[in-house]
A and B are shown apart, each in its own frame.
Chain A
């Protein structure tokens, strides 16, 4: 934690010294103690200490005085805590095929500050107990439980993918929390891909040495939103090495992404194949029952009881995204708490009905066909034409499926919209797509994308 006073001092000093010397000297400094007339400042090493005592002391005292702090003495101490953090026990990975038994294994454990479980940046809120299992995510749930029981042995790496707000982060963090609970000495690190990328880029920008230990020095590495690594070649290379180091040492790796490894653009082949090495599991949108269960659990956690109609109503109007579902519920609960009313169906309808109409009335069959065509870079005419080229047939079937699922048109009406005489074509198409959705990730993704576009 940076102290506000010290921030002020840093802010002023930054203006008066060069960027390079600011980074060299003032990075990793902090105000440790502030007494009546004594101030203690922690600095990273002896060189910095000397520099502060001789060169910056006067300036710092002046700024402190200007900010109303009368310190007759400023002490500088070497604050080795940061160094200690990186100096925790780790496993060396040897490239030798026949690696020698490690002395470290035989070494009696040296008393070292145990990495606190909070340093792993896991959110304790996310546990398996609070995760609602339904048919859309039970496979992922089971795999995660298995990993939590036996990290590093069963599914390594575990790759979870699925759309936004479907519980990837929850599941991953639950694994981390569970492992940390079972054996508190396990070092679990949860990080986002973005943090990894930024960390790496910073090192390159300031020509610092890349501190790989932060990521390699763990027993379980959980890394979220892997799709953001796309196109960042150097980072991919670094991640590749980190991945190998951990995997070789049988350390568990858990990765999430919004797409399967195959569908992440510009992902290097060697990374892609590694991601597919262990287990890749898809988390799908929750079905109606799961959504109801989620709402009921969340309401209970908040100390409310919802009637079945209210739950069903909410689950009907918000279909795809659990985050939105929770948002809707929170909105309802907050409203009721303020008004002192019960969260019943009417309040829910009044509150959420206008913002989240179940079927936007302005959506016409024509728009559905247009947007579907546009998604596949076709002309609407192609879809309604009698052509039977393969690249048109699938979009046409998808359009029919969407007309059925989104607008609830009758089959003869669907056939009519697409210039087909026979309504059995429409029945066949809808059935075919329904089947493909279950089997084919690409089709599923495409339909979700088009559906999102319909309601923009």
Chain B
């Protein structure tokens, strides 16, 4: 293999692909990145057997061939090179890298041991605007569980319902659902949150859309010349729709900034009690107040004007509440609840908002 590529392109590709080669498996070659030069393109790939990231890089190929080299050393070396052309040339399992006055030889491994990258059947495909896709991941992965004892909740449920595509996540205490695009296909897949956070990482502003390809066991996400292929989480996602309350006793509407501010203030006094804050809505005064007590430090009550449909009180974890407020892109928030035990719903105001966030109250 012999080729020339710009340092910028190579560095960008190594940053994208390299992180996956983490070496958490016993197979040494998984610490390596695969370089393959063919058809006038350089192809880089790395995998940890949960997901694989590949990228094509434009380059001038003189001689086709392939090799694998240690990801960490290679990407650190290339990131320190000047912005110039980089020449790569292999000799057996060694790769020589020349860039201006820098020259090094890295010992690699033969590419035959490198795992075959999974092929995917194009069973369902859907193309999403990148901004929507990105926001949907952020809005749902915040609530996904980190607890491996329930693997299904460590994923985002990407599915179609009545002709719409939805993303949903839950950790058993809260739940977030985002409606995305109309589609005629039937999709039902649980994508690991770890994969989606890697996808967020490789996104950049030049990209305009993301294409998702599903088959029964895997998903491939295409972002320009980057491909992320991941296993799906096996199992059935909880039937969460039945949990979302259709109607609530009290509906409170107020500006998001106000709501965020009083919650933040209250959370300062809630550190001792595991973030527990109590919300009080009163219809007469048109007010909502948040109350929190720290036995050592003192206590706090903050108030904001709001339109309130009925009086009520509920105790929530302030961290969950803040994270929920962060996920809603609207100036006005609608907060619905029914008593101390039923789930609370947060949405943007207006007709049929595309995002709902559900939080279970704290047992107090």
Contact = CB atoms under 8 A, between A and B. Distances in A.
B149 A107 contact: no
B49 A102 contact: no
Interface in B109-129: 113, 115-119
Contacts of B363: 98-101
Interface stretch (B34-42, B100-108, B170-178, B255-263): B170-178
Contacts of A53: 116
B116 A51 contact: yes
B217 interface: yes
A98 B292 CA distance: 13
Interface in A37-73: 45-51, 53-55
Contact of B116 (A55, A83, A94, A110): A55
A28 to B, nearest CB: 12
Contact of B175 (A94, A103, A110): A103
A101 B118 contact: no
Given A50-B115, A54-B116, A107-B238, A86 B151 contact: yes
Most buried by A among B115, B145, B273: B115
A111 B239 CA distance: 10
B320 to A, nearest CB: 8
A439 interface: no
Q: What's the dominant secondary structure at chain B's contact region?
A: loop
A45 B231 contact: yes
B117 to A, nearest CB: 7
B149 A90 contact: yes
A3 interface: no
Interface in A205-222: 206-207, 209, 211-213, 216-217
A50 B148 contact: no
A103 B343 contact: yes
A112 B238 CA distance: 10
Interface in B8-36: 24-28
B158 interface: no
B217 A110 contact: no
Contacts of B231: 45-47
A51 B115 contact: yes
A80 interface: yes
B116 A106 contact: no
A116 interface: no
Contact of B148 (A54, A83, A211): A211
A84 B235 contact: yes
Contacts of B361: 100-101
Contacts of B341: 101
A121 B341 CA distance: 39
Contacts of A19: 26
Interface in A102-120: 102-104, 106-108, 110-112
Contacts of A51: 115-116
A50 B341 CA distance: 49
B7 interface: no
A101 B235 CA distance: 24
Interface residues of B, number: 56
A102 B216 CA distance: 30
A74 to B, nearest CB: 16
B71 interface: no
B148 A209 contact: yes
Nearest to B25: A24
Contacts of A350: none
A200 B243 CA distance: 38
B151 A110 contact: no
B115 A101 contact: no
B240 to A, nearest CB: 7
A279 B317 CA distance: 36
Given A24-B49, A213-B148, A207 B24 contact: yes
A90 B362 CA distance: 20
A87 B150 contact: yes
B173 A46 contact: no
A97 B116 contact: no
A20 interface: yes
B239 A110 contact: yes
Contacts of B205: none
Contact of A49 (B118, B150, B275): B118
B242 interface: yes
B4 interface: no
Contacts of A97: 273-274
Nearest to B236: A110
Interface of A: 19-21, 23-24, 45-51, 53-55, 78, 80, 83-84, 86-87, 89-90, 92, 94, 96-104, 106-108, 110-112, 206-207, 209, 211-213, 216-217
